[in-house]
Each structure stands twice: as C-alpha cells, then as structure tokens.
Chain A
Amino acid sequence: MGFKDYCFRKSLWVFHFGGASCNNCDIEILDCLTPRHDLERFGILLVGSIRHADVLLVNGSINRRDRDRLLELYRQAPKPILVVAIGACGCTGGIFAEGNTFAGPVDKIIPVDAYIPGCPPKPEAIIAGIVKLAGKK
C-alpha cells in the first residue's frame, strides 16, 4: 500500500467549493447527505474547512474573481488531495464558457482527478463518481 492509498483508505471528508454556479449542483451535493441518499453511511462527511478535507468538490464555472480563491484553497489543502469537478460547468464551463468573466474550467486552474458531468448530475451520479474515485486509489 502506497502512501496515497493509505491516506484515502478510510472515511473521505469532502470540502465543497461552488464557483460561479447556478447552485443546482450545490443543492444536489447537499441532497446526497440527506436521508434518501445518505452519503454519511460511507463515512463521507462534508467539512467546513479545507484543512480537514481529503476531497475537494468544485462545481460551477470559475470566474476571474473565484480563480484566485480556488488557487488559494488548493494551496491550503493538505496533500494528497483528490479534486472532483462536478457538473457541466465544472468540467467544461458549460453554458457560461463564453461569458466575459470566465477564467477557464477547473482543470485549467488546478489538477482534477475525476469529472462528474451532468447539468446538474443526479445525486446517484455524484455518489457513483465518488465511489469510483475511492475505488481507484
């Protein structure tokens, strides 16, 4: 078992960053935690500080003002960290990619480990994505 495997062996704690999004993805991420989907049964917990997180979820198109904040968050994150781009905007910029303040999809700014497409992705898709990520090691 390598060091990275060791880090992600147990419960994954996630931190959620919503850029310039329409917050459908944000709501669906929160929805994963509520009784129907209940992510916490897998030990996945949404935390309030990036310093406690194993996974960084990023959704929404990133505008220029968000860009610096995202970089700063990534810098503060304990390494190794898994980055997941959620939704069409997180993956490619989606419908906002032509906007005048668009600063590039997430993978142009920080390295991304997994993409969960959809507008918004269903909670099942988000769970499937995270499970795949956890299985990948």
Chain B
Amino acid sequence: MSRKTLIPIGPYHPLQEEPELFKLYCDGEIVRDIKWETGYNHRGIEKLSESKSYDQVFFLVERICGICSTSHPFAFANAVEEIVGVEITDRTKYIRSVIGELERIHSHLLWVGLAGHFLGYNTVFMWAWKYREPILDLFEMITGNRNSYAMFKVGGVRRDIEKSKIPAIRREMGVIRKKLDLLTGAVMDDPVIHARTKGVGILTRQDIIDYAAVGPTARASGVDIDVRRDDPYAAYPLVNWKVITAGAGDVFAKAEVRLLEMYESASIIEQCLDALEKLEEGNIALKINEIPAGIGTGRAEAPRGEVFHFVVSDGSNSPARHKIRAPSYTNIATFKKSCIGQTIADATISLAAVDPCYCCTERMAAAYDSSSGEKILNANELIEISMKRTKELRKSEAGHE
C-alpha cells in the first residue's frame, strides 16, 4: 500500500526553545520518514539580548528554558567572565555547582516520570514527580523561587547558602537517594520496561558524531563527553565524581545514564556542602565595573547536554552578539536516525528518550488539519497505542510465569 499516514507530533512542545512539529510519515505501523517544522517558539532571544544590559541578560537567558534555568546563566556567566578575565571565589564556585546539580536531579526526575507516562506507567510518572517536589522546595528555600532562580550574576551569585540551610539540603539528599533506589529498581528490574526500551531508538556512535549530539544522549551511545570534566568550570574539578556512560545507545541506556547520574549529582552536592561548611559565609560576588571588548565562549553541562554561549562584547553595556546553542538543538535532529524504521508505538518513546519535550503529552493534539486529507492521529491516540503495547507485553509476560 503506497498511501502513507501522517502523524503530527507537535507543534506545541514547550520544553525547549525549539518546539517543533514532527511529521511522522507512516506505512502501516512503521515510521518511514520524519520531518520537522520549527519556529513556533521563536522569541528572538539572541536579538533581544543585544538590547539588554549584561545584568538583564541573565534574566533573559534564564527564560530560554524553564527546566534548565540554571544552565544557560551558567554558560553565559562563564562566557562573560572569560571576557573580563576574572576567577570567581571558591565559595561562589561551590554554590553554583550545588544549584547546577540540584537542577540536574529535578530535571532527570521529570524525565523519568514522563518517560514512564509515555510507556503507560502512570505510577512512575506520579511518583517521580512527587519525589521532585522536595527538590523544588530546596530551590525555594535557597533562591526564593521554585523555577527561574535568578541566582547568577557576572562574577558571582546573588544569594548565599548559609550554614543554617545546609542540614536541610543534606537531609534531602539522603531521602532522595532512597527514593532513587526505589525508582531505579522499578525501572531496571521490570521485564516489560526492558521489552519496551531495549533495542528501541538506537543511536550508534557514528550517528552521535555525525549529529554532534551531546549530554546523556551521547553518553548512552558510548561517546564519553561531559563538559564538567572536559572543560572544567565552577567546583567540578574540586570534587570527586565520575561520568556515567553506557554502550547500547537505546532508550534503556539513556534511562540508565540519567538514573545513575542523579546519584553522582547527590554526591557532588554533598561534597560541595562539606566545602561550604568550611568556608566563611559571605564573599559571594566580585565587583565588576566594566565588561571590556572581547570574545567569550562559555560552556556548561545542562541536564540534557552541553549548553554553549558565544558572546561578543564591544565594550558597551550590552552584548554585540550573543549566540546560544542549547543541547536539544543537536539532539533533536537525531530523531531522523532513531525513529525511522520503528513502529509508531516505539517512536513516541524514542522521541522522548532524547528528553526534548514532556508537556506535549497532553497537547500534541493537531490543532491544524493537513490539507492533503492525510489521516491524522492525535497525541492521546498515539500514547494509547503505546500503552496498549505495554499492556499486551505485560499479559504475555504474565503468561510465561
């Protein structure tokens, strides 16, 4: 049969600054081609940045992506500090790393939950999001807001982590470890999750290099890159931790990398807290009066991969050019490799594995009908297909026992 079914996924993906419409061209159950359209979320941030002062740009870049609202200011701060040529104080470094790692935990938990939802495990979704709440409470305690923390500025941070707050964070790290054990156990030991994710959406090493994918997506395919180690910044060279990699490149490997990374993050946070306890309070920002002319490149490892900021300063109050590359920009393009040849039920989780979009779950519904009269399935139907498959697998699994 030559007639192809078009399945739109999107256009409203809230998660990244690159929400797109994915068009899956299917022949029966099999995805034959995938096309994407972007521009639904274009806000002209790079252009806006040229009209704002360096202090204001932090608030702007924070709002590129709500989930990684520390990663972008992190990279921007690295870039501007490179132009100025200052070395921030040790206390600032530790505080920055604590915030960065807390964010990694909350972002990965969010992903685990949504991946669970995509597979039809709504319990995992609810649990993971429940465990995420105390992390957001910590953010609220430290910075005053659950998201968009407004923590960074050139040469330092805006708020200190006082000694009185450290026990609460430490306690929460202990609690989150236990919850992680539970979640990891639930994911790693479940035969149905194995069946749904192993060998699905495989990205080979060569694909990763070709698409220059970064972060957990790359590390799950055995490409051992992590900006925190390769191009050290903040407190990462001062603490002990390891980069998690896996070799299989499938959805399961990506889940594994993310789950294990959360343990590393908890350990980094604890070590940073040890150091913060020894250092004196205060002294969290350097006074910087002027940004000289120059070029700065800043990188930071966001939960999804490397964030890259390129800042050209002409010595004035605002950047002359500010180029931003978020990790999903390269990661999303790998869909062309991971989805083609998969069944529709597997395509959903393959798309989600890169961690591009979660909230589309409830509203991928096609707002627009395609004029060609091609059959359109909406998001819920898609997820239903995926859930049905899990149910069937569960049944057959039960039959074996």
Q: Do A and B come from one complex?
A: yes
Stretch at the interface among A2-10, A13-21, A128-136: A13-21
Q: Which of B11, B129, B147 contacts A35 (CB 8 A)?
A: B129
In the complex, which residues of chain B have a beta carbon less than 8 angstroms from the beta carbon of A94?
63
Contact B12 A24 (CB under 8 A): no
Q: How far is the CA of A22 from the CA of B362 in the complex (A)?
A: 17
Contact A63 B12 (CB under 8 A): no
Contact A23 B66 (CB under 8 A): yes
Given A27-B110, A27-B147, A119-B148, the answer on whether A15 and B44 have CB atoms closer than 8 Å is no
Q: Which of B41, B45, B69, B367 contacts A24 (CB 8 A)?
A: B69
9 further A-B pairs in the complex, CB-CB below 8 A; given A22-B65, A28-B146, A69-B40: A20-B43, A21-B41, A24-B67, A27-B66, A34-B133, A35-B127, A73-B367, A119-B63, A119-B148
Q: How far is the CA of A31 from the CA of B362 in the complex (A)?
A: 13
Contact B11 A69 (CB under 8 A): yes
In the complex, which residues of chain B have a beta carbon less than 8 angstroms from the beta carbon of A17?
12, 363
Given A22-B69, A65-B42, A72-B368, the answer on whether A122 and B146 have CB atoms closer than 8 Å is yes
Cβ distance A32 to chain B, nearest Cβ, rounded Å: 11
Chain B residue nearest to A47 in the complex (CB): B362
Contact B12 A18 (CB under 8 A): yes
Candidate in B47, B113, B126, B367 with the most chain A CB atoms within 10 angstroms: B367
In the complex, which residues of chain B have a beta carbon less than 8 angstroms from the beta carbon of A21?
14, 41, 66
Chain B residue nearest to A57 in the complex (CB): B363
Contact B359 A36 (CB under 8 A): no
B-side residues, CB < 8 A to A, are 11-12, 14-17, 19, 39-45, 47-48, 51, 59-60, 63-67, 69, 110, 113, 125-127, 129-130, 133, 146-148, 358-359, 361-365, 367-368, 378-380
A26 within 8 A of B: yes
Q: How far is the CA of A34 from the CA of B127 in the complex (A)?
A: 8
In the complex, which residues of chain A have a beta carbon less than 8 angstroms from the beta carbon of B60?
95
Contact A101 B42 (CB under 8 A): yes
Q: How far is the CA of A35 from the CA of B147 in the complex (A)?
A: 19
In the complex, which residues of chain A have a beta carbon less than 8 angstroms from the beta carbon of B146?
28, 120, 122
In the complex, which residues of chain A have a beta carbon less than 8 angstroms from the beta carbon of B110?
27
Chain B residue nearest to A93 in the complex (CB): B43
Contact B63 A95 (CB under 8 A): yes
Contact B126 A34 (CB under 8 A): yes
Contact A23 B363 (CB under 8 A): no
Chain B residue nearest to A66 in the complex (CB): B40
Contact A23 B14 (CB under 8 A): yes
Q: How far is the CA of A40 from the CA of B201 in the complex (A)?
A: 34
In the complex, which residues of chain B have a beta carbon less than 8 angstroms from the beta carbon of A48?
362-365, 378-380
A60 within 8 A of B: yes
Chain B residue nearest to A70 in the complex (CB): B367
Cβ distance A48 to chain B, nearest Cβ, rounded Å: 4
Contact A27 B40 (CB under 8 A): no
Q: Which of B41, B48, B362 contacts A63 (CB 8 A)?
A: B41
Q: Which of A19, A29, A66, A100 contacts B44 (CB 8 A)?
A: A100
In the complex, which residues of chain A have a beta carbon less than 8 angstroms from the beta carbon of B44?
96, 99-102
